[in-house]
Amino acid sequence: MKRSKTASLVVMGLSPLFISACDDTQKSQQEFVSVEACVQAGVPDISCEDAHDRASSDAMRFATHYSSEALCDNDYDQSTCVETEDDNGNRYWFPAMSAFLIARVMHGSQVSYFPAGPVYRKRDHHDYSPRYGSVYAGGGSGGWHSVPADEVAGEGDTASRGGFGGGDEGGHS
């Protein structure tokens, strides 16, 4: 009797491993410099427009803020630093968005796309995402790059923001 309980517990403990081994979900992301480049890569128009619009609206909020143009220029090309003023009249500089990321989640024959945030071009010509850190360079021509499941925007963000149907982060098929 004791042996069968132990065997049951072992099987129950290994179940998640067996289930995850059968998961055929593939996650990847790609950087695009324009909505047109995104659409030309085969992503639906609405997904490209949504990813671009969300990245554009998040660009100033997620960008590093600098107290002077010179400090911004040290990290980013001079032509990319933008000056702005907050509600209190304080001036600061931040890099302009150079591209946007879109995540693709493929589960079997179903493909969904999710906005994945703005991208900024550093002075060393490496692309940077506040959400993911360094991003491969390619400006949309580099193709889809596989990433670990926990590094793709979309499904997990939807669940962590209050469940499905929350409306904050959603994908398009």
pLDDT by residue (tens digit) across 73-114? 999 876 889 999 989 999 999 999 999 999 999 888 899 999
Q: Amino acid identity, residue 18?
A: F
> What contacts 24+ positions apart, CB below 8 Å, involve 141-145?
141/37, 142/30, 142/31, 143/30, 144/28, 144/29, 144/30, 144/104, 145/28, 145/29, 145/30
Spans of all domains in the chain = 25-67+98-160
What pTM value is reported for the model? 0.69
Residues 115-138 have pLDDT tens digits of: 999 999 888 888 888 887 777 554
